[in-house]
Structure 1
Amino acid sequence: MSEPGVIHDIGYQRYSGPRQGRAAIQRALFVHGLRAAFGFGRSARAKVFPWLVAGIMLLVAVIVAAARSITGEVFLTYLQYADQMSLLIIFFAAIVAPQLVSRDLRAGVLALYFSRPLRAADYVVAKVAAMTAAVWLLLGVPQFVMFLGAAFTSGTGVGGVFREVGDLLPGWAYSLLWAVTFAGISLLIASLTGKQAFAAAGIVAVFIATVPVVGVLASLPSTTANGLSGLASPTFLIGGVGEWIAGSESALDVGVGRFGPIYGIEAACLIAACLLLLLARYRKEAAL
């Protein structure tokens, strides 16, 4: 029988390689999160929904590109594409966000993460970046397919290609705004519970339940209430920012009018608030 206080060498080899620190952990969390968003490294069942959503969105882009190449008419701009796909993005976020953070809560691995040289801010940045990248790819890749269809079948030469690039880049920037907003809101909600079903229901509720409020405000006999109605819903808020920046109506038909700067300010404040609340949430976990 061993004597008390004696440490036995049972043959485990010590790690003597380079220690890469926080940046490497953060990068690993980002890559793992992005892979998990599309079901890589998981069962076939986990791949069904994200790739079904991706397939539908890509199919829409192919149809739009084919129709434009045949008729020469623009049926859907790059900005309008993101607006039209908003419902699919909501359900995608509702499935993916709990995969990224709720599973960590349920499995109790946060204490293990924070026992390493990893700060709460590193964890939040990695998860938000992974979620943002997943949503942006979901929008950006089909937009690029639309670009290919428009640029190389229009017959307008190099000048036409450059004009199309000038339309695509704002579309990608708009998609990034969608991605950051959806990532911040959905991850914040998912971080409150370890039950993925509850997290998914909460995310859908926040995005869907606010839409009737917009309808009520938009029906009031007041131009001010009509113009500010989109502020009540994250989806219409982003659509309003798109209208303000592009100077044209979005597919959501928010009708921001002269209130565009207010939409921009609220969008910035909403994103910042979600990120700060996420940081506070995980600083509390790290302190436990």
Structure 2
Amino acid sequence: MSEAGVIHDIGYQRYDGPRLGRLAMQQALFVHGLRAAYGLGRSAKAKIFPWLVFGIMLLVAVIVAAVRSITGEADVLTYLEFAGQMSFLIIFFTAIVAPQLVSRDLRSGTLPLYFSRPLRAADYVSAKFAAMVSAIWLLLGVPQFIMFLGAVFTTKDGVKGVFNEIGDLLPGWGYSLLWALMFAAIGLLVASFTGKQAFAAGGIVAVFLVTTPIVGVLSSLPSTTANQLAFLGSPMTLLAGVGQWMGGRFDLELGRFGPIYGIEAVCLIAACLLILLARYRKVASL
């Protein structure tokens, strides 16, 4: 006597809704990364540090706007100089946020799940990089806008004064974007090599701070050319050199090498992104 098989219908159905594709996945990763950078949707503990840094920078912007309105001095702290003055806060912000964006994925083992879908390594890298850049740029751009509003509402030159402020703000925002690109590229690259957030944060701080003595050594050489190129040795002084070339007051003697600073900044960002992409292509192929 043979037994007949029985098929039970337990209600599973195939998904027949819209398939949004890679672009939607990138957008989701970007939004999630930007929210994670500021601790949105996470515990109160995760919000403390990013919002503390953001609050300090807003406070500085308000103080600058107030001092400028009282004294009438337009050069208390320019838009180009703002990022440089806040550099250490940006370093620590990057050291906390970058591991949140990539190290957590390594530690939790979610990367194989991501790459099991039609999501490429380039999609993952571009989404995380865009989220990190946006987080750092907002950290700088919003306080600069507060400074701009303070200057606009206290200007004595009317419409001409407003347009002058816009002409100063836009290069400042562009310079802040360069800072965001540089710090995001370096921070994500360092963080991508370890799933331990503490190690990633320490490595990021080390990259920015340990390279500073290189500048001091090159600056002490008897060669004028070496002195003028010395600031290429550290990401922070490299960015200061670009700011000096753009017309900021960074008290750096660059000589005729100003364009070299701009070229190296672009090349360093590109190199970090290429290495980061190669890193995740290797992970995706495993």
TM-score by length of 1: 0.95
Is this contact kept in 2: 1:174–1:242, CA < 8 A? yes
Alignment partner of 1:110 is 2:103 = no
Alignment partner of 1:263 is 2:261 = yes
Which segment drifts farther, 94-103 or 148-157? 148-157
Q: Work out the CA distance in 1 between the residues paired with 2:131 and 2:212.
A: 27
Q: Work out the CA distance in 2 between the residues paired with 1:244 and 1:116.
A: 45
Secondary structure (helix, strand or coil) at the match of 2:246 reads helix
AA at the equivalent of 1:65 = A
* Structure 1, unaligned runs of 5 or more: none
Alignment partner of 1:11 is 2:1 = no
Report the equivalent of 2:192: 191
CA 1:214–1:152 in 2, change beyond 3 Å: closer, same or farther?
same
Report the equivalent of 1:58: 58
Q: Work out the CA distance in 2 between the residues paired with 1:192 and 1:62.
A: 39
CA 1:9–1:150 in 2, change beyond 3 Å: closer, same or farther?
same
Alignment partner of 1:159 is 2:157 = no
AA at the equivalent of 2:16 = S
Q: Work out the CA distance in 2 between the residues paired with 1:65 and 1:8.
A: 71
Report the equivalent of 1:40: 40
Secondary structure (helix, strand or coil) at the match of 2:256 reads helix
Q: Work out the CA distance in 1 between the residues paired with 2:185 and 2:117.
A: 25
AA at the equivalent of 1:57 = M
AA at the equivalent of 1:72 = G
Q: Which deviations, in whole Å up to 9, do the C-alpha atoms of 1:128-154 show, x marking residues without a partner? A: 000000000000000000000111112
Report the equivalent of 2:244: 243
Secondary structure (helix, strand or coil) at the match of 1:136 reads helix
Query: Where do 1:1-288 residues align within 5 Å?
Result: 9-73=9-73, 74-246=75-247, 248-250=248-250, 253-288=251-286
Q: Work out the CA distance in 2 between the residues paired with 1:220 and 1:7.
A: 83
What is the CA-CA distance between 1:17 and the residue it aligns to?
1.1
CA 1:6–1:168 in 2, change beyond 3 Å: closer, same or farther?
farther
Q: Work out the CA distance in 2 between the residues paired with 1:9 and 1:249.
A: 74
AA at the equivalent of 2:17 = G
Q: Work out the CA distance in 1 between the residues paired with 2:122 and 2:260.
A: 29
Secondary structure (helix, strand or coil) at the match of 2:257 reads helix
AA at the equivalent of 1:92 = F
AA at the equivalent of 2:91 = I
What is the CA-CA distance between 1:177 and the residue it aligns to?
0.2
Q: Work out the CA distance in 2 between the residues paired with 1:10 and 1:180.
A: 51
Superposition RMSD in Å: 1.5
Q: Work out the CA distance in 1 between the residues paired with 2:224 and 2:55.
A: 40
CA 1:112–1:150 in 2, change beyond 3 Å: closer, same or farther?
same
AA at the equivalent of 2:133 = T
Q: Work out the CA distance in 1 between the residues paired with 2:141 and 2:266.
A: 21
AA at the equivalent of 1:154 = T
CA 1:8–1:284 in 2, change beyond 3 Å: closer, same or farther?
farther
CA 1:105–1:155 in 2, change beyond 3 Å: closer, same or farther?
same
Q: Work out the CA distance in 2 between the residues paired with 1:9 and 1:115.
A: 28
CA 1:7–1:28 in 2, change beyond 3 Å: closer, same or farther?
farther
CA 1:155–1:118 in 2, change beyond 3 Å: closer, same or farther?
same
AA at the equivalent of 2:18 = P
AA at the equivalent of 2:280 = Y
Is this contact kept in 2: 1:236–1:254, CA < 8 A? no
Q: Percent identity?
A: 76
- The number of residues matched between the two structures is 282
TM-score by length of 2: 0.95
What is the CA-CA distance between 1:91 and the residue it aligns to?
0.3
